[in-house]
A and B are shown apart, each in its own frame.
Chain A
């Protein structure tokens, strides 16, 4: 039993490993049938091992069963197509042959521990090599190769160890293998990914650690002032002559429901320009931002009464975390209508939702150009749409806000005559303020971008001189210069415009987006009454009007595709008949194919009988060829074996005398007389003659009868005990 288990432990993984590798070659991928496909190698291995380890009786029975099974299978194929039918199972026969070959290979390897270890090592090395070459072994194949290797290592360690006690390798491996097999069972359940591991958890932990370190460094080493002359949000409206790169992380953004290629996050607004810098700044305000959003939604709702609001505006949720502790401002995107502080990081992190504008098409331009009168009804509807209920965002508050915006940012800018001529030429043919703004934007975007435009000349001390210098002489600068020029030019045309400082970045659709200090930016916004603040990007190389397709455009495209690729024959041809339901059901007879059952069973039984007879004849012949002493020893061993049937087995280290003493407790002495003879034959080297042999042969019949009786008695005793237990219970 131990030997059989030992062989099974080594041969089965080898067969399964080879089989699963061969399976993927022989059987097309769409015919995989799950774990049931491993039944074949397991069956073949079990049958072969049973043949090896069982006695003749067992082998005969297995042979008979196999024949019965094969015949039954063959007969169950349709009569005229038996040979052809067999052909469809060609793959099964191939795999069976492969399994048998692998079994034989396993038996060969089992003869030498060293050979087996070498084979397992080679199989292990073959795995990564095959993977690099493009062929990836499946989970079963990989598991079985590793299991085979581990079992061999365990056996090898046992072989080289010098221990005291029962150190048989077979026994040792059989009784420690459950631990190894248990582990591989768990491994079999764990799913595996086809993709390399992305280490998300590690990166997240690393991010947290990095953040903690930066925070600590900021607290210890960085003063609050920092950032001057570096690119970054400073909160001051200074136009520097030179700015340096700065890649520290200022903000971390996260969204789960959208992406924005040009996300503008405002931090501060300015309204007064003294020719050299912006003064009188205003921090972002939550209520103002929400009112701006509501105002835009009012216009969008009005505009898309017959269509969809998402053609014009789109909601995006955004989490903002201000990592740089030097930044004290509230950073929120334009048109943010939800601004909720994150309780875990108060004052630093906010959960927001904002509206992205669809700037790519004429719908938006038409929306702005149209007169958008907002009354209290439309305001309330918009608030309801956005889920805003608090009193700070009432219609009255909006009216007050609107006046405030007009006052704050409505002061017109004086420009030179030269600039007036330039502007007149620029605005020629422009119908609306939005069109004018677009032309200003395009005009400025034709300039050159430079991080080092140099200091402003000494004589620049007002807006007009700045504009003349920048537009006609310098024609280069960075975002602050261009945004300043835009705002001043827009104001000179009577529009309400403001200079905005903040960050401009791309928002990824999934995961965190880091906003570095380099992303600090300045841009311009213009207020369109009834629509809200609309941003413009005058800096060369930055942003462009992004948007998305409207619903109508998408539907039109879909129709076009359907029209182009529709089946030309659809709808033609006869109608297929539907299966009708029969009237009364007829009674069906169940016919049993007796010949298909009886023939295989009968054949199996006949084969078993023939084999039993042949086995008996062979044994008798072998017995006749033995010497008298050999016959006597054979008989004694046989009688000893009979006692096993009644639970009296001689222990490995038990002497015959000790066994006799033990057996005499359950058996009469006359049935144990053969033990004396056995002992004398083994140890006293007594010569056995024919008489002795006949004496032993004469003991057989009474002993067999006794054993049968004793077995019945034991069975009765066990039954009585069970009944008593049941009764007691």
Chain B
């Protein structure tokens, strides 16, 4: 195309030289033709742009991350002239369109259409634009082209994927969840007090008793819970969808996968969420999974929300059998969370969803296990 434009420019210069030295029809008609040609070609492109109709529709209203769904694209020409050359570009950062290569050039005679049925696969959970992004219109001589963005792109809400976590991912989960007194055996700094008549002897801390020579019992903070608490980091990090969509997707996948895992093992799960205010999704049986799924499909991450606030408002967290935190950033706040977890004596895991430079191996700090998970890491297989 560049070559053709250079040729046109050379012809224009030639025409100017021609009319400078020769008069007559040949030189002037040649000049007018060379001047008129770009005008006509751009006018043609403009007419194509205003006459072209594009229709795109997904198959069904619900889209699920990672699951291909039908997608229909129609290019329609309702005018009296041919659309010589159209090239379509799709949104490809968070979704893919199958069966339609982007380098195909389409031609549409008058009153005709091209209909394509294809598959749309959304990579991440969330709300974003999919489908046709841009149309490149080239003139009938292939000299000039104009690319324009679709005025009203197709915006979809994609539900998270339903995953069953791989065994390798859940290795050691049950062991930690089952070990009631594991934390107390290894953590000397359990808050204890002297036995008072009426205290439940089951809560006696025999190690502390041996040390002190008196019967010591654990200090109970709040109600004791027998299940797992999963706390989800509600914050949105970044303004660019490229920054926040992948980690948020992985966070929801982790939470759903872990919740399903524990429910299938008959362990109740409480999922702590922070929207306008704290909410806890209590799951006791596998049938409650759908409740959590719906909740997380509509969940909105926000820059204004904070993990620390959620933890502060939830002192009852120390009463759980195990705590699982699914975080997106490793920063001072995260470190503080880790340290505070160590003091409660409750076994805990931190799943850190992060693709940045970090020690990729899991690290343990006391009874807290830090497991890094990449944004693109496949952690389970999809459920039907």
Contacts and interface: CB of A to CB of B under 8 A. Distances in A.
Nearest to A199: B20
Given A161-B105, A186-B36, A131 B140 contact: no
B374 interface: no
Contact of B25 (A139, A154, A162): A139
Contacts of A197: 19-20, 23
Nearest to B24: A136
Contacts, number: 122
Contact of B40 (A141, A161, A179): A179
A6 to B, nearest CB: 13
Contacts of B26: 127-128, 130-131, 136-137, 142
A349 B28 CA distance: 38
A128 B18 contact: yes
Given A176-B81, A183-B37, A161 B142 contact: yes
B335 interface: no
A196 B32 CA distance: 14
A423 interface: no
Q: What size tier do the contact residues of chain A reach?
A: 35 or more
Interface string B36-47: 110110011000
A440 to B, nearest CB: 52
Interface in B15-58: 18-30, 32-33, 36-37, 39-40, 43-44
Contacts of A192: 23-25, 28-29
Given A131-B24, A142-B25, A196-B22, A187 B107 contact: no
Contacts of A138: 25
Interface stretch (A164-172, A382-390, A453-461, A635-643): A164-172
B19 A172 contact: no
B92 interface: no
B311 interface: no
Interface in B100-137: 104-110, 112, 114
Nearest to B82: A175
B84 interface: yes
Given A192-B25, A192-B28, A195-B23, A165 B84 contact: no
Interface in A128-170: 128, 130-131, 136-139, 141-143, 146, 150, 153-154, 157-158, 161-168
Contacts of A141: 25
B141 interface: yes
B80 interface: yes
Contacts of B39: 183
A165 B30 contact: no
**A139, A153, A165: which has the most chain B beta carbons within 10 Å?**
A165
B213 to A, nearest CB: 89
B318 interface: no
Contacts of B24: 131, 136, 192, 194
B85 interface: yes
Contacts of A178: 80-81
Nearest to B41: A179
Instruction: Tell me which of B37, B44, B84 has the highest count of chain A C-beta atoms within 10 A of its own C-beta.
Output: B84
Nearest to A172: B82
A168 B110 CA distance: 12
Contacts of B107: 163-167, 172
A102 B331 CA distance: 84
B109 A146 contact: no
B25 A136 contact: yes
A193 interface: yes
B75 to A, nearest CB: 9
A142 B140 contact: no
Contacts of A154: 140-141
Given A161-B105, A171-B109, A175-B109, A187 B29 contact: yes
B311 to A, nearest CB: 57
A382 to B, nearest CB: 49
A186 B35 CA distance: 12
B108 A165 contact: yes
Given A183-B36, A193-B23, A157 B82 contact: no
Contact of B105 (A143, A150, A164, A172): A164
Given A172-B140, A183-B40, A163 B29 contact: no
B23 A194 contact: yes
A196 B36 contact: no
Contacts of B140: 154, 157-158, 172, 176, 179
B110 to A, nearest CB: 6
A179 B29 contact: no
Interface residues of B, number: 38
Contacts of B108: 165-166
Given A161-B85, A186-B36, A146 B104 contact: no
Contacts of B21: 196
A176 B84 contact: yes
Contacts of B22: 131, 196
Contacts of B82: 171-172, 175-176
A180 interface: yes
B326 to A, nearest CB: 46
Given A172-B140, A183-B40, A137 B25 contact: yes
A80 interface: no
Given A175-B81, A183-B36, A157 B29 contact: no
Contacts of A583: none
B230 to A, nearest CB: 50
A182 interface: yes
A176 B21 CA distance: 35
A201 interface: no
A39 interface: no
Nearest to A181: B40
A190 interface: yes
A186 to B, nearest CB: 7
A138 B27 CA distance: 11
Contacts of B32: 187, 190
Contacts of A182: 40
A701 to B, nearest CB: 36
Nearest to B39: A183
A163 B105 contact: yes
A193 B23 CA distance: 6
A175 B77 CA distance: 12
A193 B81 contact: no
B142 A157 contact: yes
A232 B30 CA distance: 48
Contact of A153 (B23, B29, B112, B141): B141
Nearest to A175: B82
A128 B26 CA distance: 7
Contacts of A143: 25, 29, 33
A161 B82 CA distance: 15
Contacts of B29: 139, 142-143, 146, 187, 192
A157 B4 CA distance: 12
A123 to B, nearest CB: 12
Nearest to A188: B29
A167 B107 CA distance: 6
Contacts of B85: 161, 163
Nearest to A191: B28
A677 B19 CA distance: 69
Given A142-B30, A171-B82, A180-B40, A196 B19 contact: yes
A627 B85 CA distance: 46
Contacts of A139: 25, 29
Interface string B54-97: 00000000000000000000000000111011000000000000
18 contacts: A131-B22, A137-B25, A138-B25, A150-B33, A158-B84, A161-B142, A162-B105, A171-B109, A172-B140, A175-B80, A176-B81, A176-B140, A178-B81, A187-B29, A192-B23, A192-B29, A193-B23, A197-B23
6 A-B pairs with the lowest CB-CB distances in the bound complex, closest first? A192-B28, A175-B82, A139-B25, A142-B29, A165-B107, A195-B23
Given A130-B26, A143-B29, A183-B33, 19 more contacts: A127-B26, A127-B30, A128-B26, A131-B26, A138-B25, A142-B29, A146-B29, A150-B37, A154-B140, A161-B105, A166-B108, A175-B80, A175-B81, A175-B109, A179-B140, A193-B28, A196-B19, A196-B20, A197-B20
